[in-house]
Structure 1
């Protein structure tokens, strides 16, 4: 469900061969590595150079946990506890010297205490869910012209949400390899089951098929220009134009009004306790059915010495919901040995509130649109962490796999690299999160 805040779309599309960035829906979707509210992309800390003729397999996993006190399910107050385990496998297969296929398949296994409050009960089926996703891409390179084009498609499915997507991209690199312009377009077509809070249903035990559905369409155009400025300094600037239409509200997010006179229905013992504190009835969150977003970002990579690199990132975000956000990130990869890299990082984010946001019991029933989702509130956030990468030139280990290579010799798979990463996130709205993740890189 949307409240779990963990859409992996960005990670999926970055794994495709096309040199593009994907999008998320600020305030309504969230990935454990992207909890800044507006969905800024996080690029790999240490790029991996892969041989053009080898098949690569990345096994990715981790554990994410968050806690907070402003759950949107209960109208801006209540638990935001969430855990998520998101395993995935990314396979990159060269078809020949110029074309590749990429597949990214995985799942999110999550438990969310806040979604229990949809029915004012504990340990209901809504507290646990699994999202399955699969994305597939094809790219082709014209080395003489310095161009790469790619196409891709994917699908994502969970209990109350189904999405299909498609992408196309094009990149042009200069003859000297110092400049590149890349363009990418993305389309996301979503269908959402309209699960509402229990006290607002005509039949409290209503089944999934009786809720009805709504749709959302997202169109994203990204342009990125990168250039090598000096032997030590590289820069990239990118901009995105994102248009969304359809359901942008979350149907099980409650909103309470200070001037409502409608009694709060009582549907269970647990709800009765809550009703005694909130005597008036809520409504479901209501937001406009169109949104336009236009962020722009700058990235700088500076090789200070042979062992120290400085990676800086800044992003300015604006949308027609009234949110303006600034994000700055600094990462310092340090080459401890030729094959071992440590990279501490720090990220700061601040944003203004959407014009439709108000805290618990602060909305008026005369408001045209209303939400108490703190992802759309005014807040600042800090994320700090440490990563390490181990990638010896001949790999960490190697082992035989069934079959033979083109020369008739036994096939050997190598464990090429190991990435480990920890991050701690803290937001001024009392949300705290921690994530541990890993990436095992294999080559065949």
Structure 2
């Protein structure tokens, strides 16, 4: 009897030790705290500003630093905090009130008033949990965004399954954003501004009524599946549906009517109305990727997406990126992206709308256009994090430049830098 008890005790001790060893050797989802520091500088120019009714300078400069901190709470759970700031100077938004500068008002000249610059801030917190076998993962997120003319709150989540010996991955995700606009109108259409211009410009008396709704709600649902097709080829398919309700037009975008008399003050065309768009929009996008591993030095990444919505826009996006590994630590990645879209049903250029229309916009983002984007980047990666700053090892450095242009005389450049640190 004593022998049986001793053997039983040894069995349970061995089982507990085996479980402890299994748990201690279970691969953590994230080994240690990671910090990503990113910096983007963006500049653009064009001559079809929506703020001035589709005709005017679109010059803008934007500096956007961000930091992402990912903290492993245990073997299975990760907490991520993402903070972003965007500080910009915009010639077009300065012309919300073009009359507060030191020079005559002009749609092609930035006003020097207070509205020429502003800042956008965003914080996103997310929590993710992975199952013991790493075949299932769920996540939840919450976000807050604030800018001079709106505030946004968002919640969302996702669920991912891996099966077929981890060769197949299926993901579902959903997000809800609740936004509130501050109803900032073009200066001449405000009650005090409009009354002043009625005296300054004889005959100018627009029949303007402000928006009654300040809210905008967005609901999105997405599904994606990826499949390892061979030792060299990986495929990915996705579908996304977004539904929006509420104030979907921008209150300070001017519109001019061809069947109304034109009124000017200094060199500036006074608005007939502001952009008016439907209070609902349904967007659908389907896309796919194919990534091909040529050899240990070269890969090819391709992407295609088709988009459509009930405002009449249909678009195609196609891109290719070819990472070239030149050493164990350095990779070059040239890229090209092509985009085209049809115009929204409610778009017309500067001074081409009719006052009898129900909806109208002269925002060239909703026009028909083609766009090309050429990019080039270089990446440094050190999986051993041999370089250190205090308690953090340097894992990677990324630098990239992109040149974007449309056939509507719009162009932009993006300069990006990113550094990732890992806590030892």
1:377 match:
367
2:416 match:
437
2:352 match:
362
Tell me the number of residue pairs that the alignment of Structure 1 and Structure 2 aligns: 371
Q: Would you say 1:308 and 2:298 are equivalent positions?
A: yes
1:112 match:
90
2:280 match:
290
| Pairwise CA distance, 1:339 | 1.2
SS at match of 1:337: coil
**145, 149, 154: which one aligns with 1:165:** 154
| Pairwise CA distance, 1:338 | 1.3
Give the Cα–Cα distance (whole angstroms) in 2 for the partners of residues 213 and 418 of structure 1. 45
Q: Would you say 1:272 and 2:249 are equivalent positions?
A: no
Give the Cα–Cα distance (whole angstroms) in 1 for the partners of residues 385 and 167 of structure 2. 29
**126, 138, 141: which one aligns with 1:137:** 126
| Pairwise CA distance, 1:306 | 1.5
| Pairwise CA distance, 1:212 | 8.3
| Pairwise CA distance, 1:396 | 5.3
Whether the aligned pair in 1 keeps the contact of 2:30 and 2:78 (CA below 8 Å) is no
Whether the aligned pair in 2 keeps the contact of 1:194 and 1:213 (CA below 8 Å) is no
1:20 match:
none
Give the Cα–Cα distance (whole angstroms) in 1 for the partners of residues 184 and 344 of structure 2. 24
Q: Would you say 1:223 and 2:201 are equivalent positions?
A: no
Q: 1:277-303: CA deviations, max 9, x gaps?
A: x7xx52100000000000000011000
**321, 325, 329: which one aligns with 2:319:** 329
Give the Cα–Cα distance (whole angstroms) in 2 for the partners of residues 144 and 63 of structure 1. 41
| Pairwise CA distance, 1:211 | 9.8
2:54 match:
76
SS at match of 1:231: coil
**396, 407, 415: which one aligns with 1:417:** 396
**81, 88, 99: which one aligns with 1:103:** 81
1:88 match:
66
Give the Cα–Cα distance (whole angstroms) in 2 for the partners of residues 114 and 52 of structure 1. 44
TM-score, normalization: structure 1?
0.81
Give the Cα–Cα distance (whole angstroms) in 1 for the partners of residues 170 and 189 of structure 2. 51
1:248 match:
248
Q: Would you say 1:202 and 2:188 are equivalent positions?
A: no
Unaligned runs of 5+ in 1: 1-49, 401-411
Give the Cα–Cα distance (whole angstroms) in 2 for the partners of residues 213 and 54 of structure 1. 47
Give the Cα–Cα distance (whole angstroms) in 2 for the partners of residues 399 and 372 of structure 1. 51
| Pairwise CA distance, 1:368 | 1.0
SS at match of 1:119: coil
Runs of 4+ in 1 over 4 A off after TM superposition: 210-213
Whether the aligned pair in 1 keeps the contact of 2:154 and 2:177 (CA below 8 Å) is yes
From the superposition, tell whether residues 396 and 106 of structure 1 become closer, same or farther in structure 2 (CA, over 3 Å).
farther
SS at match of 2:248: coil
